[in-house]
Structures are given as structure tokens and as C-alpha cells.
Amino acid sequence: RSGFAALIGRPNVGKSTLLNQLTGEKIAIVSPKPQTTRNRILGVVTRPEGQVAFIDTPGIHQAKGELNRYMVETALQAAEEVDLVLFVIESVPGEKPEIGPGNRMILERLQRIGKPTFLVINKIDAIPKALVLPLIERYRNEFPFAEVVPISAREGDGVDRLFQAVLGHL
């Protein structure tokens, strides 16, 4: 099996950290500063079970200014070109999670693009386990995700499972 998957999501949710964890290399710059990833970055993971090219993209947000708008379009274009979209969000504290306007806008764009899409819930190291399920339910109401995979990109938890799930959809 082989194919292309794009990492799509708001700034700072951990897309670049995930690419680095998947590839085991520091190919994408990770930073607490938004807009660190300015271009597409490709990381190829090759294992006996298959090969996946992951494309890291700039964060999608309400862009002001030409460069920012260009970066957002770059990310959405990547989503159009791949076999599978990994929509990355970060875990949020609170028992009644809200999706928020930023993620809602991305979901609307992804609906139109119409690619098989995973919900990747990152930073689960930062919230109590009991809060992950309400978050999953909230998002599942909004979008027909092909898979939902909670991970910690920083710690590596769930990342192998994510890779296997990606292969399963190629």
C-alpha cells in the first residue's frame, strides 16, 4: 500500500511535531509561534507494510494580508491533491468542548473538498483522559470522519496506530 496524506489544521495544533514524530526526523520546524510552517513539507515514511508521503502544511486561519492568505491556500490545495486528509486539532480542557470558529471554517472547506478525512486529536498528554470522549462525540456530529485517532505527537502515543489506520485507507 502507498499514498499521500496531508496534515491540515489551525496554527499550533502540532502538525509539524506529528510529521517529525512520524518520520523520526526533525524535518519540520516546531515552534509555539504561529505561522512557522510557511510551505509544504514532505516526509516519507517507509515500513514493510507500506509507504506514506505526509505533507505538512501552514496553519489555516482567518488570514489577513497577502502572504497569510497565500499560505492558507497552499494548505487547502494540498488537501485537494492527497488521498487522505488528516485534520489535526488539539485537545481542549472543559467537559463541554466547543468546536470554535477556526475549526468550523476548516471543516466547511474540507466538506467541499470531499476527501476521506481523519480526525486527529493531538496533545492528549495535556488533558485528562475522560475529556477525550466528549470531544470525539462533539466532532463526530459535525463531520463524517473516516477515523478518529487521539494522539500525543510530542510523546509519540497513538502515532503508530495512526500510521496503520492511514495505510488501511490507502
Residues near ligand GDP, by CB under 6 A: 11-17, 30-32, 36-37, 59, 122-123, 125-126, 152-154
Residue 131 is placed in which grid cell?
Answer: 475529556
Closest by CA position to 12, among listed 53, 84, 60:
60
CB of 55 to Mg ion, least distance (A): 12
For residue 116, give every residue at least 6 positions away whose Cβ sits within 8 Å of its Cβ, in sequence order, or none: 83, 84, 85, 146, 169
Which one, 20 or 52, has the nearer CB to ligand GDP? 20
Which one, 13 or 79, has the nearer CB to ligand GDP? 13
Residues belonging to the binding site for GTP are 9-16, 56-60, 122-125
Residue 139 is placed in which grid cell?
Answer: 466532532
Q: Which of 20, 21, 37, 103 binds Mg ion (CB under 5 A)?
A: 37
Residue 45: other Cβ atoms inside 10 A? 17
- 71: partner contacted, choices Mg ion, ligand GDP, none (Cβ within 5-8 A by kind): none
Binding segment toward Mg ion, per CB under 5 A, in 14-22, 110-118, 139-147, 154-162: 14-22
CB of 18 to Mg ion, least distance (A): 9
Closest by CA position to 115, among listed 70, 149, 150, 145:
145
Residues belonging to the binding site are 9-16, 56-60, 122-125
Which one, 15 or 61, has the nearer CB to Mg ion? 15
For residue 133, give every residue at least 6 positions away whose Cβ sits within 8 Å of its Cβ, in sequence order, or none: none
Q: Restricting to residues 15-34, which ones interact with Mg ion according to CB under 5 A?
A: 15-16
CB of 90 to ligand GDP, least distance (A): 7
- 21: partner contacted, choices Mg ion, ligand GDP, none (Cβ within 5-8 A by kind): none
For residue 144, give every residue at least 6 positions away whose Cβ sits within 8 Å of its Cβ, in sequence order, or none: none
Closest by CA position to 76, among listed 60, 90, 64, 87:
60
Residues that bind Mg ion (CB under 5 A): 15-16, 37
